[in-house]
Amino acid sequence: MQGEAQAIVLQKANKLKLQNATYHAGNPGDVLVKTIASTITPGFDRLLLTNKPVSNRVFHYPIMPGSESIGQVMATGSGVDDLVPGDFVYAFKGDRWSGVESYFGCHAEIIPTSRPNLFPLCRQPIHRDLLTGLLAYVISAVEKVPLHSASRILILGLGSVGLMVSEYLYTIGFKNVDAVETFSIRGQLSHAEHIAIDINDFTADFNDSYDLIFETTGRILLIEKAVRLMKEGAKIVLMGNYEIMAYDYRLIQHKEPAIISSGITNLCHIQQAHTVLNDEMLDSEKFFTNVFPVSQFELAYRMALDSKESIKTVLSWV
């Protein structure tokens, strides 16, 4: 299975182009998926666009972004026995591109991939399926920390990740949640009780209050600013995309917080996320703020990265 497909490719820093890309999916476990829709991940893509590292991987241009998509199976290798052409799937990685480095590689009209990068939907897709990866990421993070009925929680940032943290915590019964978010419209979408535009807006009444902090902005120095709000031994979960991981330990050591990294999502988390979304256990509609045909990908990226109203921006490939 080989050929070419239209794809969004980052040719160099700040230069995205819709172009043909070559793929070769020749292994027995490979699958070709016809893309229906994909989404832009603002924090991750912003760092890629500005040529800043988003992980320990060293990458070289050209690069293909895109880590969330839904589509329909076109063809499978001889070793795939649980998918057939016509099946609908959630795809989170296209790893069979040639001449283009895949940074998840799902922004394309066809996704050439291997079977482990697909989750069968077992029905026709609906737009909320595009939230599967985001919700799985949040479920993975929440699993890493102890939660009790009396836990007091602070979310730093209400972009797509922070908003999903708020939504999921509310779904599983945790209401004692506050947040910091610059854009008030995002605060209105969340279930947070007290919302500050700036972390310094929290008065002294909130000092020594929080058992758990979810940092979702990618601004690691917010930990230093949040230290007065933490209880001793508070847990801090890092969920952003961090260009620099530097903070002054001297400013936080007196509270002895436990700083927890959360970046791994497993199949069990994807399955849990699918169940939550399929059963409509949370309000998914609030996340979808813009939908663009792929021909308007440049406008879509501008809206996703620069608009204060934007949460999830969808690219339609059909």
Residues 6+ apart with CB under 8 A from 56: none
Q: Is 256 found in the same domain as 170?
A: yes
What angle, 0 to 180 degrees and rounded to 10, lies between the N-to-C axes of helices 267-278 and 132-143? 120
Q: Are residues 139 and 117 in the same domain?
A: no
Average pLDDT rounded to a whole number, residues 135-148: 96
At 13, the pLDDT band (50, 70, 90 cuts) reads confident
Note whether 180 and 62 are same-domain residues: no
Strand ranges for 41-170 from DSSP E: 63-64, 69-76, 88-91, 97-98, 101-102, 110-114, 118-120, 153-156
CA dist., res. 29 & res. 116, Å (int): 9
Q: Which long-range contacts (CB under 8 A, 24 or more apart) does 49-53 make?
A: 49/10, 49/13, 49/14, 49/16, 49/301, 49/305, 50/13, 50/14, 51/12, 51/13, 52/243, 53/243
Is 211 within a domain? yes
CATH at 185: 3.40.50.720
Query: With 70 as the cut, is the pLDDT of residue 262 above it?
Result: yes
Q: Do 94 and 192 reside in the same domain of the chain?
A: no
Q: Is residue 14 part of a domain?
A: yes
| 54 pLDDT more than 90 | no
The mean pLDDT value for 96-115 works out to 92
More confident residue, 268 or 65: 268
On whether both 209 and 293 belong to a single domain, the answer is no
Same domain, 40 and 62: yes
Same domain? For 113 and 152 the reply is no
Do residues 59 and 92 share a domain? yes
Please report how many Cα atoms fall inside a 13 Å half-sphere around the Cα of residue 160, on the Cβ side. Answer: 29
By mean pLDDT, which of 14-18, 42-46, 149-153 is the weakest?
A: 42-46
The 10s digit of each residue's pLDDT in 21-30 is 999 999 999 9
Q: Which CATH number goes with the domain that contains 48? A: 3.90.180.10
Phi, psi of 316 (to 5 degrees): -95, 130
Residue 59 and residue 26 share a domain: yes
Percent of the chain with pLDDT over 70: 98
Phi, psi of 3 (to 5 degrees): 165, -160
**226 shares its domain with 301:** no
Confidence bin at 48 (pLDDT 50/70/90)? confident
User: Is residue 171 over pLDDT 80?
Assistant: yes
The proportion of the chain whose per-residue pLDDT surpasses 90, expressed as a percent, equals: 80
- Asked whether residue 117 falls in the same domain as residue 146, the answer is no
My answer on whether 14 and 113 are in the same domain is yes
Q: pLDDT tens digits for 186-232? A: 999 999 999 999 999 999 999 999 999 999 998 889 999 999 999 99
Residue 212 domain boundaries? 133-261
The total domain count for the chain is 2
**Residue 151 placed within a domain:** yes
